[in-house]
Structure 1
C-alpha cells in the first residue's frame, strides 16, 4: 500500500469506529507494521491540526479516534439536540422494540435477537432519552437497558404492561409448520 493509500485506508477505518482503537489493532486490520501505523496516526493528527479542521484525531484510552474540536462544541450540541426530534431509523425502532419487550436486557442479547451489532443504536436511544441503564446482569456483569418514562410518554402508554401484546401478530404453530413446508 502506498503512503497516501495507507493514510486513506487508516482514515476509512477510523471513520467507522465508535470507541478508541489501538495502533496494534489498526496495524493488524491494515496489515501494516505497527510503527508505520503509529507514524501515520501522528502525521494525520498533525495535518488535521495544521489545517484547522472541525475534527481532530486524538489518542485516548489506549487508542485513537476522531473527535469534534472543542471550539465547535456549541454547534455540535445544537445539532445533536435538534436531531432529537428526527425520526428513528428502522434499526433504532427494531432495537427499541426488543428492549421494550425484553427489558431489562443486555446489548448482547439485543444484538443476538437482531443479528447485528447494536452498540451505536443503543447509544443513540440513550442519548435521545428513550432507553436507560437498568443495572448489571449478575451473571455476566453486562449493563442492562430498559425503556424510560419519556419513551412511555411518547408512546402514549402508562406502563410497559400497556404495550400491545405481540402474540396476536405472530404466526400460530400450524402457520409456522406451513411456512416450513413451503421452503
Structure 2
C-alpha cells in the first residue's frame, strides 16, 4: 500500500471512530506494516489538510480524534438544541482542586475550599469518570487519595495535565476553578451532562465561556 492510500485509510478510520484512536490501533489498520513514525507523519499531514475547515484533528490523552471547531458550536446547536449542562460551583472547584493539586484527600479539598465537601459530589465525579482513587495516605484513617483520569483529559480536550493553564497561586481554589473552567473545550464538553449536587447553594449554568454565578458557601469543614 502506498502512502497516499494509507493516509486515506487512516483518515477514514479516524472519521468513523467513536472514541479517540491510539497509535497502536492505527498500526493494526495496516497489519503493523507501517511504522509509528510514518503514521505520525500522516497524522500531521491530515491535521494540515483540515486546517481552516469546520473539523480539526486533535491529539488527546487516549489517542487522536476529529472534532468540530468551537466556532461551529453556534450552528450545530441548531440541529440539536439542548440546555447546557449545569454544575454547581462546588463541583467545578472540587474538580479543579483535584486536577491541579493531585493526589489529594477529601480533607485537603475541604481545607482549600474552606467548606465541607459532600460525599455525593465526589461520587458523581467518580461516576462521570473524571476522578478516581489511586491510593491511600498513610495517616489516621488512611484517607483516599484522588486524582484525575484519562477520561477527564479526553472530555476536556487535553493531551496531558501539562496542558492545564499555569496557576500563579496554585493554593487558591478560586484561581484553580477559573483556570480549569477556561480549559473546557469543544466538542465533548457540549455532550456532558451531570446532575448538580446541592452542597453549596443554587445551581449555575456552565457554558464554554465559563460564566459562573456566585453562590453562598457552607460553614467551615468538619474537624
TM-score range, shorter chain: 0.3 to 0.5
Higher relative contact order (CA 8 A, sep 6+): 2
Q: TM-score, normalised by structure 2?
A: 0.36
User: TM-score normalized by structure 1?
Assistant: 0.43
> Greater Rg, structure 1 or structure 2?
1
